[in-house]
């Protein structure tokens, strides 16, 4: 039903100079879903997320969040409304402690008791962060920084959490941990849009999926159906 759609993207186009990076993409995310957007490197996935979250200018198309148009709004305004992204590359504040990074995630809030309670919730999800609460973020491993970036985003109490390539560059063991956490965050009630090259893991978690290739959505449907599709398996699962 339309009232369940939290994020709707229609005919999105994004250009870098004369190059069309995103070519009329349309998709939606409903309340309570975990939706995966998969595709090879350079397919336009990250550009799409940047456009949706106000980081990248939009050439054409419409973006609605909770039934209201948001195209052209700044990222800071969208965070206040509950549209929060964990960027590719994590982007932690290297010279700040773990606790200070989490506090930065709550910069749009002024409820100190609630912020303190949410830091405790993040520490429950990521015990490793609690153990190192006063450690500088820049001295942490890539996997630990990914945990911190996800925890920082949760501090904004997102209505939709957008994750851009959370497993990129991590060890297999840490990849397992990150996907466990994504599952846990979703199970706790957060609506998630997950962008990933790791198609099998992303679709294994998702309710629905979209396949992106060369700036266009080429396939969509229930995640399990996409996982079993011969074209998807050949292109993205090495079969």
- DSSP assignment of 176-200: HHHHHHHHHHHHTT-EEEEEES-HH
Q: pLDDT at position 87, please? A: 87
Residues contacting residue 91 through CB under 8 Å, at least 6 positions apart: 149
Q: Which residue has the tokens 């079969």?
A: 239
Predicted confidence (pLDDT) at residue 3 exceeds the cutoff of 90: no
CA nearest neighbour of 33 among 1, 63, 55, 62? 1
The whole-angstrom separation of Cα 153 and Cα 175 is 19
Res 129: pLDDT: 95
Closest listed residue to residue 55, CA positions, set 89, 101, 97? 89
Considering the entire predicted model, what is its pTM?
0.93
82-113 pLDDT, tens per residue?
Answer: 999 998 877 899 999 999 999 999 998 889 99
Structure tokens at 97: 């402690």
> For residues 237 and 199, is the Cβ–Cβ distance under 8 A?
yes
**What residue has token string 């550009």?**
47
The dihedral sign for the CA sequence 49, 212, 65, 20: positive
133-180 pLDDT tens trace:
999 999 999 999 999 999 999 999 999 999 999 998 889 999 999 999
Tell the burial category of 120 from Cβ atoms under 10 Å away from its Cβ (0-12, 13-18, 19+): exposed
Q: What is the pLDDT of residue 1?
A: 46
CATH top class, domain 32-56+73-236: alpha beta
Q: Where are the domains of the chain?
A: 32-56+73-236
With CA atoms as reference, report the closest residue to 147 among 105, 106, 113, 109. 105
- Does residue 26 register a pLDDT over 60? yes
User: 102: burial class by Cβ within 10 Å (0-12, 13-18, 19+)?
Assistant: buried
Percent of the chain with pLDDT over 70: 98
Identify whether the C-beta of residue 125 lies closer than 8 Å to the C-beta of residue 184.
yes
* Nearest to 165, CA basis, from 53, 16, 69, 38: 38
């Amino acid at each position: 039903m339309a009232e369940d759609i939290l994020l709707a993207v229609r005919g999105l186009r994004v250009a870098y100079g004369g190059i069309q990076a995103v070519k009329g993409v349309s998709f939606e995310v409903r309340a309570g879903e975990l939706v995966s957007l998969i595709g090879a490197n350079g397919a336009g996935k990250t550009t799409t997320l940047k456009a949706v979250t106000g980081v990248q200018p939009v050439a054409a198309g419409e973006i609605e969040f909770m039934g209201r148009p948001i195209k052209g709004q700044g990222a800071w305004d969208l965070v206040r409304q509950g549209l929060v992204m964990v960027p590719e590359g994590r982007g932690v504040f290297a010279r700040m402690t773990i606790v200070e990074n989490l506090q930065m995630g709550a910069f749009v809030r002024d409820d100190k008791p609630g912020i303190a309670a949410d830091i405790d919730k993040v520490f429950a999800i990521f015990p490793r962060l609690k153990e190192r609460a006063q450690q500088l973020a820049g001295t942490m491993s890539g996997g630990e920084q990914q945990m911190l970036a996800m925890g920082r985003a949760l501090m904004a109490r997102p209505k939709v959490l957008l994750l851009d390539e959370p497993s990129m560059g991590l060890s297999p063991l840490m990849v397992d941990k990150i996907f466990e956490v994504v599952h846990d965050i979703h199970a706790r009630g957060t609506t998630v849009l997950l962008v990933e090259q790791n198609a099998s893991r992303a679709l294994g978690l998702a309710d629905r999926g979209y396949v992106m290739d060369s700036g266009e959505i080429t396939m969509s449907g229930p995640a399990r159906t996409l996982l079993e599709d011969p074209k998807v398996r050949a292109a993205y699962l090495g079969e």
